[in-house]
Each structure stands twice: as structure tokens, then as C-alpha cells.
A and B are shown apart, each in its own frame.
Chain A
């Protein structure tokens, strides 16, 4: 799509059909993506958010997305390039861009940098994230009800706090309705490789898992589940097209809420580098696209939990919670503070195996 626009813009310029000068120059906003926008997962969901900005602000904003940017020195070059080309607002959408964002943000003090899922902030460097674990928890509730043998599987990308938190939330959700559930994890060490994601899913299925969740970016796992007659979930976006009856539900991210709010603040000149961590409450994550295999009462239960999170009466990480060794790390009635959630590096009771070091 953006390619067409570039082409169209280029043609318009070449033919001298440039439109009348705008009253004010549009705010240029650049988006740095880890994968292709066609991944139907993480990057796709960010690009949906970018398009919501386009739709809402029209001429006032000019957005641009750069795909497949590796989390290496290349990222610094891309971010620097965006800033040099007059983008006054830059969103970088993967954890691994953190140091590059910090470095470039210091070189361009008048540009606003927003880094997804990171924790480093500065005068002009903010962070934003979605409480994906709330989605994982709701999927876990469905998984706990739907599993026949109590064996859940998760395909993980990298053992970082965000992903470990999601595995734990999924397990806690499942055990809240079915205390016998246990979760096995296979790490693929990539965010996006449909082949490997499929292989990892088949591995978990071969070892008995009958409901899968993934913290990777393609729908390959949903397809593998369908092929083998087990269940899976859409992650980041609705993946029901790939799973038919195997697709139980999806945890869908709505980045547009954060993007629209940020653009609005930047345009109004009221932006501050306050860390944003939005969840079900703000509408940034939701459980959607329930499949035909999910009975009405299970769907109702999941939606009740969602409403509880929305109302603030339910927190997925509420004690008593135990770690793998059976030691209580959260006392009854207490909820885990964000600071502890942000650095979670251990599995809760019910997850098998050990966190790779």
C-alpha cells in the first residue's frame, strides 16, 4: 500500500500536479517494524494502528513504516535516517531497538522517540506497551476449560520478561479454572520463522499438548494445530482464517489507541515521556474471535474475567501464587506491582522446565 502511495506521490511531483501548500506542514511519523507487515501477527497489528492514525488525522499527519529492520546496528541507521528525513515522531516496535533508540534520541533532541516494550526513557524518549499478559491470562482461562488431558503448550520466542510473563499468565489463567493443568514451553529463538514455529508446535503436540499458545508472530502454529486436530489461539490478531475449528479465540492488540493518543499529544504540544502500559482497561488488548468449538459458558466465563480486569477487580497476578519450587512469591490477596511484572524472570507453578539462561 505504502509503495503505491510513494509511487503516486512521485508521479504527482513529476507531473507537476503538486497540491496547494498546506496551512501547516503535516507531522511526519515514522514506524520501525521488526517483521513484515504481512506477518499477520505483531507487526501487522502495529501497522493496523498506524493506519488508524492515518484515518483519524488525515492531512495533519504523514506516516511511514519501515519493515524487516533487524535489532542490530542496522536499526540505528534506519532510526537515524528517519529522524534526518524530518520525522518528528518515531515509533520503534520491538524490544531490541532499545539501545539504538536511546542513542539516536540524544542526537535529535527535538524529535520525539517512542519505544515499544522497552524500559529506557529520556527527555524525548518515551516507552509504550500493551499488557499482553492480560490477553494471555484470558486465553489461559479458555485453555484450562478446553484441554482434555491438562497439557498446554507454548511456543516462545526469546526468554525475556515480556514472554515469560505471558507464559505465566496463561498458566495462571488455566489453573484458575483447572488446577491440574501444566504448561510446556519450546523456545524458537526468533520472532518470526513460520517453519520453525510449525516445527515447535508439532513437537509440543507430539509430546501430548492439546491446547497451544504462541508468543511468536506468524499463524503457522494455528495451522499446525488444525492439521493435528488440537486447539490454538490467535496471538496479536485474529487468526481464525488459519485454524477454522482449531482456533479457540484470539488475544488482539489495538495499538491504534496508543498511537492516536500520542499523536494527539504531540500535535497539541503536551507530550511527556511518561511510560504507557495500557491493557484491557484502555481497550488496548481484548479477547476476540471466539471459535465454534468454544461452548457458550466458556466464552461467558472468559468475558466475565475480561470485564473484571476492565473494572479493576481482577488482576491476573494475584496471590497466593507459587513459583516452580512451590515457594509462595505473592501472598494471598496481593497483586503484583508493575515494577515486579516488568522484570519477571522465573516460571510460576504449573510451568514445566527451566527458563533458559
Chain B
């Protein structure tokens, strides 16, 4: 059974945004990772993707509600989607206490808590400030 890897929200954004300078680099990396790993995302990632792709402060030409809803369906059909379960909340509580996680960093910690729930040790992300802080400790 292949190892698992978790794709964070910005990877999905760069994958679908053809004009992004990261688009081709991320696409090449995905091809490499696809052969080695089982690719996972989570409900949180799908939700955040929808937030970013419809946000006119973040994108010059944001998607419509219909467009983003179709995208969410597509991502769910090509990657495994982790649900947040009771164990995820227990993992999150542990991380919050262990690393004194606060404020918006709790959203990052929840990604780590979800990964732990599904025994996923690898994360693919362009920027991981929040998670790096947790993993270094």
C-alpha cells in the first residue's frame, strides 16, 4: 500500500490557476508524487479552496458560486478526502496545548490533527509557516 501525502489548500489553488507562476511547477510535482503516494485532502481544504477561489481580494477574477461548487466535486472525485472525526478534535486539543497554538494558527493545527487521524506524515504545501512551527517543536 503506498504512503500517503496530504495536499494543502494552496496546492489546489495553484493547480487550478493556470496563470499562476507556480502552476506548472506544482503540476510537475504532482506527476512525481502521484506515482509514489496516495494523495489526500480534507473537508477543510475543500472549504478553504472555495473561500480563496471566490474571494475578490485574493484573485483578480474570482470564480462564481456555481464554478467553485463544480470544482469541489472534482477535487473530491480525484483525491481521497479526510473527514474530521472525534479523533481529529482530540488530536487538535493535544496540539493546541502542546505547542500553545492560538488564534488563526489553530486552522493550521487542524490540518496537522487531520493528518494524524489518517496516519498521513507528508504534507505538500508551498508555504508552511504555521505547520513548520508546530513540527519543529
**Does A associate with B in a complex?**
no
